[in-house]
Structure 1
Amino acid sequence: MVYILETELLEDKSIYFSLTKVFGIGQFQSFLLCKKLGLSYNCKLSNLTPDQVIKLIKFIENSNLLINSHLKKSKIMVTKNLVQIKAYRGIRKIRGLPVRGQRTHTNAKTASKFR
């Protein structure tokens, strides 16, 4: 396992899929990162040289991507702001009800469990 960007990535998987394990990097961002760095997305993480790994880490850090703890903090701050300004979504979040317009008559059992 390789420890990159506060996440342990599997060496036997391709770069494309192993980068998606980082919180905040999805499949599209992973594809773009591979394309911009000139890496084949089929190439396994174990086949990368240490220079390529360092280049990958520096490129992700220099880009304006929110990843891992920074993304989690920003999501928490957004929800705190919604609660503070008493927005509809914030009130629904406090009460433990569905936030995005789902029906509550029959299907809100799982949303009300997550308090």
Structure 2
Amino acid sequence: MVYILETELLENKSVYFSLTKILGVNRFQSFLICKKLGLSYNCRLSKLTPDQIVKLIKLTESLNLLLNNNLKKSNIMLAKKLIQIKAYRGIRKLRGLPVRGQRTHTNAKTASKRN
């Protein structure tokens, strides 16, 4: 198993799909990373040489993306800011209700679980 940015990546999957396991990296960004390194997107992570793995780690760290813990912290700070300024979204989030205009008569169970 390979650890990149505190995330455990499975070796039997392709590089393209394993990079999406990192919080904050989507499929498009994963595709760009593979393209910059000159890797085929269906190349397995286990077939990479240690040198290629080091390049992969350096490239993911050098990108200006919010990843893992930084992304979680920014989301929490955004929610706290919304609650602090008493925005509508912040109040709904604080009460555990749907934030984006969904109905609450029948289908608000998932929003209550999430908060």
Q: Does the pair score TM above 0.5?
A: yes
Question: What's 2:16 paired with?
Answer: 16
The equivalences for 1:1-115 within 5 A come to 1-115=1-115
Shift of 1:79: 0.5
Distance 2:14 2:109 in 1: 39
Shift of 1:94: 0.5
Distance 1:52 1:70 in 2: 25
Distance 2:63 2:18 in 1: 19
Is there any run of 5+ residues in structure 1 with no aligned partner, and where? none
- Quick one: which amino acid aligns to residue 46 of structure 1? S
Residue 113 and residue 61 in structure 1: after superposition, are their counterparts in 2 closer, same or farther (change >3 A)? Answer: closer
Shift of 1:38: 1.0
Distance 2:97 2:79 in 1: 14
The percentage of counterpart residues that share the same residue type is 77
Which runs of structure 1 show a deviation greater than 2 angstroms over 4 or more consecutive aligned residues?
112-115
Is there any run of 5+ residues in structure 2 with no aligned partner, and where? none
Is the partner of 1:3 in helix, strand or coil? strand
RMSD: 1.1
Distance 2:54 2:65 in 1: 17
Normalised by the length of structure 1, the TM-score is 0.95
Distance 1:114 1:12 in 2: 32
Distance 2:24 2:85 in 1: 26
Distance 2:62 2:109 in 1: 43
